[in-house]
Structure 1
Amino acid sequence: MKVKTFQIIVLQGIIGSLPWTAIVFFTMWFELIGFDNNSSAALNSLFAIGCASGALIGGVIADHLSKYFPDSARVMCAQFSAFMGIPFSWILLTVIPQSVDYWYAFAVTLFFMGITISWCATSANNPMFAEVVPPKHRTMIYAFDRAFEGSFASLAAPAVGLITEKIYGYDTKTVNLANGSAEGAYALSRGLLTMMIVPFGVCVLFYSPLYLVFKHDRENAKFASFKEQELV
């Protein structure tokens, strides 16, 4: 807990996990637009495929760049990934008309959104944890990170519901998922937009201090490991 890199990554992870929890409402949003079950499932699948591909791509790019910029490359990749959540969320939730006629537009946007916003864990968080803590503590560190992020991220889903109902006027009594609802889709899209764009933006800012502390923490971890080997 005294390692500043760990503190910063956990802090940004708490905020950065909120949009990913809010994404569980995508299926409901698609159905409110009027997509049937198969179309909604296909959209979610394309997003998942994009995320899986993006995690691999982000990790490869960060590994390559870190050879030349060991102190900043991973942070830059993470900030790029978090930042890309802002324009893609805006395009997905506000620019594309909320109509079943635009399935392909939703599909392409979701796929490329998944590719670009899924880098943080593989390109920065996990590799940086491995560099700033002694090997014997790594599994515990990963466990703490998952526990902290998961606990706070669970608040995003009810937050989306509250924002959608209290601010944007979503009324469960007048919405019928079977037939879709333009008003309900609009309200939910605005609730999702709030819980995605704001956390993504804050997450980008929270990564910034790593430019100053990561190198120092990594050198301390190397020195600690070297001292342990000498004692052995």
Structure 2
Amino acid sequence: FLQEPPVRNVPKDSSQPERGRCSALWAIFEEIKDLCKFLSIPTFCVMIMQGIFGTIPWTVMGNMLLYFQLSGIDDGKASVLTGEQPVAGAFGNLMGGYIADFLAG
């Protein structure tokens, strides 16, 4: 199981503001600094980029009902076609899992 790293108590530094607006600005600065650390990791950048491009098809699929209707398919059939997609996706994921487990041994 995952072992948590030891937690150490850090004494308050006099350079950190105590409260108010300066505290909020300091928190934002710290978050930006942490973000820059993450963005310096090439694997993290690749993961973010694939996530950006991976969301495009799902956004487009939200408009499939409109596409079917504009293609001349009547509303009932377009609804059935749109409703079949998540069911077929769930079945495909289930079968893919069984096949992967079988091939893994």
Tell me the TM-score normalized by structure 2: 0.49
User: Bigger radius of gyration, 1 or 2?
Assistant: 2
Higher relative contact order (CA 8 A, sep 6+): 1
